C-alpha cells in the first residue's frame, strides 16, 4: 500500500486535541470545593444507610458493659499541625451524637491511682505462717533404697518398702522395728494401709500387687494383670477398690475382695509413675512419664481430662485432704503445679525447687512438701505457693554424697510429723519446731 493513500496527520491531531479539551474542560479542578450543605446531606445519607442498625448495642450487650474507663490526662498535649485537616469528624458529631458520652468513673487522677493501688493489694495474698520443721529422728534398718512409706490410720505405726524387697513395720512414737514382711522378689514401690479393713497393700517391680492380712501377718490375695513393674497404688477412701499403676503405661482398678480387674485405665503412652484416689470426681488421678496428668471417670473407665502443662515426666501427685485440689510435680523449673478439681483447672506454679521431684505430700494445715532426687527438700504454703523452708537431706555416715535423694514421703495422721525415705537407705522423721 502506498503512502499517498493515507490522510494527512496534522488535521487529525488537531481534531483529536479539540475532542480531548472538550472532554476534560468540564472536570472540576482543585479550586472547586464541595458545599458544606451538600457534604452534610451526603454524610447523613451514608450514615443512615450503612450504620443505622449498629449505632447502639443490643440491650443484652449493653447490660454487660462495665463503667467507662479512666479519663484522658489533663495536661496540654502538643498537637500535630502538619498535613491536611479534615472537618468530616466534626461534621459527623454534629449530625449524630449517639451513643451519648458518659462521664468517666475516674474523674480525677487521684481516684485512678487509688483504684490501681487497690488492684495491687488484692493480687498479693499473704501466706499463712507455718513454724519451721527440723529433723527429729533417723531410722536405719533397710538394706536398699527406701521407695515407699505409708502411715496406719490409727497413727500407731507406719510401713516402709525398699529395694531390699522387705516391707518393715515401725512404731511411730519410738521408731522401733516391730515387724518385717517378706514376699516380694523385687523393689517394693508402693504401700497403702486400709482405713476400713485390717489390710496392708503393697506393689513392686516384680509385677506383684499383694494384700497382707495384718492380723495374721501374711499375704491373703494377689492381684494379677500388670505386664511390668508396678510403681504406685492407691486405695479408694469409700469404695472397696484398689488402683495400681506402673511401667505398662496403664492404671488398673481392682475389686479388693474378689481380686477381679474392673477397669484398665489406658491412654498414657509411658510409665504411670503415680496414682491417687479421692471420694468425689475425678475419683482417680494419674501422673505419667509421658509428661501428662489424666483425670479419670471411674464409672466409665475413661479419661475425663488430660493436663498437658508439664514439660517433663510427672513423677508425683498429692491430693489436698480438705481443699478439693491437687498438685503434680516433674523435673526442671516451674515443675510443681497446683490444680483445681473437678475440671483440673490450672491454679499456679510452685516455682523455685529446680530438681527432679520424686515425692509430694500435703497436710490439712496447708504445709506442702516436695522432695528432690538431689536431696533438696522444700516446704511450701499450699495456699499461696510460697516456699517457707529449704533443707538438704544429709546422707548418713558411710553413704555416698550422691545418695542424698528423697524417694517417698508422707505426713502422719495428725499432720505434725513428716516421714521421708531416701537413697541412703534410712527413714527420716521431721517435726514442726515448737515455739
pLDDT classification of 74: cutoffs 50, 70, 90: low
Output the CA torsion sign for 126, 128, 131, 135: negative
pLDDT for residue 61: 75
Q: What is the 3-state secondary structure (H, E, C) of 17-68?
A: HHHHHHHHHCCCCCCCCCCHHHHHHHHHHHHHHHHHHHCCCCHHHHHHCCCC
**Total residue length of the chain:** 435
- pLDDT higher than 60, residue 81: no
- pLDDT higher than 60, residue 277: yes
Helix (H) or strand (E) holding 381: strand 376-381
Q: In sequence order, what E strands does 67-186 have?
A: 133-139, 146-151, 157-162, 166-171, 177-182
Strand 336-340 and strand 345-350: the pairing is: antiparallel
CATH topology of domain 143-355: Methylamine Dehydrogenase; Chain H (2.130.10)
More confident site: 155 or 58: 155
In this structure, what C-alpha cell is assigned to residue 118?
Answer: 487497690
Q: Do 234 and 252 meet the contact criterion of CB atoms below 8 Å apart?
A: no
**50-59, 124-133, 192-201, 256-265: segment of lowest average pLDDT:** 50-59
pTM above 0.85, yes or no: no
pLDDT classification of 196: cutoffs 50, 70, 90: very high
Question: In angstroms, rounded to a whole number, what is the distance separating the alpha carbons of residues 200 and 151?
Answer: 10
Question: Average pLDDT, whole number, for the chain?
Answer: 87
Q: In sequence order, what E strands does 215-260 have?
A: 218-222, 230-235, 241-246, 250-255
DSSP per-residue codes, 319-357: E-TTTSEEEEE-SSTT-EEEEETTTTEEEEEE----S-E
In the chain, % of residues over pLDDT 70: 86
Amino acid at each position: 500500500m502506498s503512502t499517498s493513500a493515507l490522510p494527512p496527520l496534522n488535521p487529525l491531531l488537531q481534531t483529536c486535541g479539540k475532542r480531548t479539551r472538550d472532554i476534560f474542560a468540564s472536570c472540576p479542578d482543585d479550586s472547586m470545593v464541595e458545599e458544606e450543605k451538600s457534604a452534610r446531606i451526603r454524610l447523613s445519607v451514608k450514615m443512615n444507610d450503612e450504620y443505622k442498625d449498629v449505632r447502639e448495642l443490643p440491650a443484652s450487650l449493653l447490660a454487660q458493659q462495665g463503667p467507662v474507663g479512666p479519663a484522658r490526662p489533663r495536661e496540654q498535649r502538643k498537637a500535630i499541625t502538619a498535613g491536611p485537616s479534615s472537618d468530616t469528624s466534626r461534621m459527623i458529631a454534629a449530625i449524630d451524637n449517639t451513643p451519648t458520652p458518659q462521664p468517666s468513673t475516674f474523674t480525677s487522677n487521684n481516684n485512678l491511682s487509688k483504684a490501681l493501688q487497690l488492684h495491687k493489694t488484692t493480687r498479693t495474698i499473704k501466706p499463712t505462717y507455718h513454724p519451721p520443721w527440723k529433723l527429729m529422728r533417723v531410722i536405719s534398718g533397710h538394706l536398699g533404697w527406701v521407695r515407699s512409706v505409708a502411715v496406719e490410720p490409727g497413727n500407731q505405726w507406719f510401713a516402709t518398702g525398699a529395694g531390699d524387697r522387705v516391707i518393715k513395720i515401725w512404731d511411730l512414737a519410738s521408731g522401733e522395728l516391730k515387724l518385717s514382711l517378706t514376699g516380694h522378689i523385687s523393689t517394693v514401690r508402693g504401700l497403702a494401709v486400709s482405713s476400713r479393713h485390717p489390710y496392708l497393700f503393697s506393689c513392686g517391680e516384680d509385677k506383684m500387687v499383694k494384700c497382707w492380712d495384718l492380723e495374721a501377718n501374711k499375704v491373703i490375695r494377689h492381684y494379677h494383670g500388670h505386664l511390668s513393674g508396678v510403681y504406685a497404688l492407691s486405695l479408694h477412701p469409700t469404695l472397696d477398690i484398689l488402683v495400681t499403676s506402673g511401667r505398662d503405661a496403664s492404671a488398673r482398678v481392682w475389686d479388693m475382695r474378689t481380686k477381679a480387674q474392673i477397669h484398665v485405665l489406658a491412654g498414657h503412652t509411658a510409665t504411670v509413675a503415680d496414682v491417687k484416689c479421692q471420694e468425689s470426681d475425678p475419683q482417680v488421678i494419674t501422673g505419667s512419664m509421658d509428661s501428662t496428668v489424666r483425670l479419670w471417670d471411674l464409672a466409665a473407665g475413661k479419661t475425663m481430662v488430660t493436663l498437658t502443662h508439664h514439660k517433663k515426666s510427672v513423677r508425683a501427685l498429692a491430693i489436698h485432704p480438705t481443699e478439693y485440689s491437687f498438685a503434680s510435680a516433674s523435673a526442671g523449673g516451674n515443675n510443681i503445679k497446683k490444680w483445681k478439681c473437678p475440671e483440673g483447672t490450672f491454679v499456679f506454679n510452685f516455682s523455685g525447687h529446680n530438681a527432679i521431684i520424686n515425692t509430694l505430700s500435703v497436710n490439712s494445715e496447708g504445709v506442702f512438701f516436695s522432695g528432690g532426687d538431689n536431696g533438696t527438700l522444700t516446704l511450701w504454703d499450699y495456699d499461696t505457693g510460697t516456699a517457707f523452708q529449704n533443707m538438704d537431706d544429709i546422707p548418713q555416715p558411710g553413704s555416698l554424697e550422691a545418695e542424698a535423694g528423697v524417694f517417698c514421703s508422707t505426713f502422719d495422721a495428725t499432720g505434725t510429723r513428716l516421714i521421708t525415705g531416701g537413697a541412703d537407705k534410712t527413714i527420716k522423721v521431721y517435726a514442726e519446731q515448737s515455739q
